[in-house]
């Protein structure tokens, strides 16, 4: 069966907000290619988020889709406090002080949300305030925790703007009190993923997973890579996380904007190596917040992330507050579909090849994926309880769609971030023969195969432990 050029495999994650809160708008976004939803816990309250979750699930049921929902924790971001009249002006060369004492800020001094910040700094450390619009160099560290410095680049400073400290691992705890409240809300609402902000090391992921386990929650954890320390520890972070997000906004402040494209490729490659889904995020179609067409640079950015091998691309303000949320999704879908056809047709190199490591499950997934290079395979059907078989197959980027059949509704939703995977919940099959028959029937029922087409089926012993993939079979779809 030929693959439709318009059927993208790359997943699209959209942040919901005021521009996309209505059922009609969200339905149009799904029909335009949305695959997963992000709720930004830095904005809104639990009541508004609960209403959005209810709406998303209602539309998902109506359309017969499994749409995963991500709760994005705000994390321990350092911020300045309030300043008089809402904003003050800082000038090049002036002295400026950050203080742990609560106060209304002035053009000479402002409070800082992390009282222990001075203990992590040294003379000469650079501080970036308000996404780098203000740059300050530390000249003196006082015993009472005040940080004195020279403003190297001044600008208007508004209340509660963020502070970045490039290249420094801060002694902040990975979760705030607000995060703990949002975690409880996410568990109550049975969200599929929690995204952990400002991850510095693999131990931060372990902290969140320990909390979730203690509350008997199987929510998966996304590690947001936006700190230089996280890039340095990327191998261990990827092995600990359930998914990864390349959060390029703060990352560009932490390690210099010119390093971000290199870090992006490294992070994506590491995720594919370990079969961990990866999302590329931040300003992908930023101009479409107010314009109905993207810039040429944005189109190239989205396509290059796909050429790098990302599983998903993410929209933030474009769909949360933008004027054209559905149109932005449709635009991203068209870019993704064209990029995928380009590598299928040999117009551009495919994402870097992945070599399976020496165990049965990985070898089965590999040969299940590459069979389509030698035979006209309509679909790859994987039986999976934990999702690992589908994730391992996905990382080899096969041409046919991957149909993941699972008895676990949570797994079904969480596979929604994986490139090329279409998941559905089914009953457990009692035998290998039963799985094969059900696989070919399912491929035909969902329109991925026609009578006479061939499908690849991978599975394990239905009575064995999870992760025991040991069967691969090529089956011809029969007429009903």
Q: Which of 8, 224, 248, 391 is catalytic?
A: 224
d(CA 389, CA 375): 21
- Return the structure tokens found at 463: 């009575």
Q: With left for phi above 0 and alpha for psi between -120 and 50, is residue 165 left, alpha or beta?
A: beta
Active site residue 391: no
To the query of whether residue 79 is one of the catalytic residues in this protein, the response is yes
Query: For 467, what's the count of Cα atoms within 13 Å in the CB-facing half-sphere?
Result: 3
Q: How far apart are CA 410 and CA 425, in angstroms?
A: 9
Please pick, among 15, 52, 270, 282, the residue that the annotation labels catalytic.
282
- Single out the residue of 397, 374, 392 nearest to residue 382, CA to CA: 392
Angle 437-442-447 (CA atoms, 0-180°, nearest 5)?
Answer: 135
Which member of 79, 146, 178, 344 is catalytic?
Answer: 79
DSSP state of 6: T
Query: Of residues 8, 9, 38, 385, which has the active-site annotation?
Result: 38
Annotated active-site residue 9? The verdict is no
Give 433-440 contacts, CB < 8 A, sequence gap 24+: 434/462, 435/383, 435/459, 435/462, 436/473, 436/475, 438/405, 439/381, 439/383, 439/403, 439/405, 439/475, 440/381, 440/475, 440/476, 440/477, 440/478
Residue 282 annotated in active site: yes
Residues ≥6 apart with Cβ < 8 Å to 394: 275, 277, 311, 402, 418, 419, 420, 421
Residues 6+ apart with CB under 8 A from 246: 225, 263, 264, 267, 268, 278, 279, 280, 281, 282, 310
Q: Active-site residue numbers?
A: 38, 79, 224, 282
């Amino acid at each position: 069966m030929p693959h439709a050029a318009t059927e993208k495999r790359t997943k699209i994650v959209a942040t919901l907000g005021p521009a996309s809160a209505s059922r009609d708008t969200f339905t149009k976004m799904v029909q335009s290619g949305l695959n997963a939803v992000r709720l930004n816990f830095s904005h809104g309250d639990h009541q508004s988020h609960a209403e959005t979750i209810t709406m998303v699930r209602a539309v998902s049921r109506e359309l017969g889709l499994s749409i995963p929902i991500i709760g994005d924790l705000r994390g321990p971001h350092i911020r300045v406090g309030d300043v008089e009249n809402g904003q003050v002006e800082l000038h090049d060369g002036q002295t400026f002080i950050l203080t742990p004492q609560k106060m209304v800020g002035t053009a000479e001094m402002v409070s800082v949300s992390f009282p222990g910040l001075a203990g992590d700094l040294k003379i000469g450390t650079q501080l970036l305030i308000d996404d780098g619009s203000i740059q300050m160099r530390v000249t003196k560290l006082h015993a009472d925790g005040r940080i004195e410095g020279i403003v190297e680049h001044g600008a208007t400073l508004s209340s509660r703007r963020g502070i970045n400290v490039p290249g420094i691992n801060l002694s902040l705890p990975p979760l705030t009190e607000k995060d703990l409240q949002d975690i409880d809300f996410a568990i109550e609402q049975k969200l599929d993923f929690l995204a952990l902000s400002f991850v510095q090391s693999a131990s931060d992921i372990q902290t969140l997973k320990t909390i979730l386990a203690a509350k008997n929650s199987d929510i998966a954890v996304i590690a947001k890579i936006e700190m230089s320390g996280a890039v340095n520890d990327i191998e261990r972070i990827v092995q600990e996380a359930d998914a990864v997000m390349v959060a390029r906004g703060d990352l560009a402040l932490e390690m210099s904007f010119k390093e971000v494209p290199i870090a992006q490729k490294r992070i994506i490659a590491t995720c594919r190596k370990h079969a961990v889904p990866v999302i590329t995020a931040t300003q992908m179609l930023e101009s479409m917040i107010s314009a109905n067409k993207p810039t040429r640079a944005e189109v190239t950015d989205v396509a290059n992330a796909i050429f790098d091998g990302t599983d998903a691309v993410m929209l933030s303000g474009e769909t949360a507050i933008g004027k054209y949320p559905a149109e932005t999704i449709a635009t991203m879908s068209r870019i993704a579909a064209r990029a995928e056809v380009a590598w299928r047709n040999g117009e551009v190199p495919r994402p870097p090849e992945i070599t399976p490591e020496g165990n049965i499950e990985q070898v089965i997934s590999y040969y299940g994926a590459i069979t389509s290079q030698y035979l006209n395979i309509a679909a790859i059907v994987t039986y999976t309880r934990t999702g690992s078989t589908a994730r391992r197959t996905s990382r080899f980027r096969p041409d046919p769609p991957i149909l993941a059949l699972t008895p676990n509704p949570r797994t079904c939703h969480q596979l929604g971030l994986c490139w090329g995977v279409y998941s559905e919940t089914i009953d457990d099959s009692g035998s290998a023969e039963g799985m094969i028959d059900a696989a070919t029937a399912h491929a035909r029922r969902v329109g991925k195969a026609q009578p006479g087409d061939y499908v690849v089926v991978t599975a394990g012993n239905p009575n064995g432990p999870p992760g025991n993939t040991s069967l691969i079979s090529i089956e011809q779809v029969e007429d009903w």
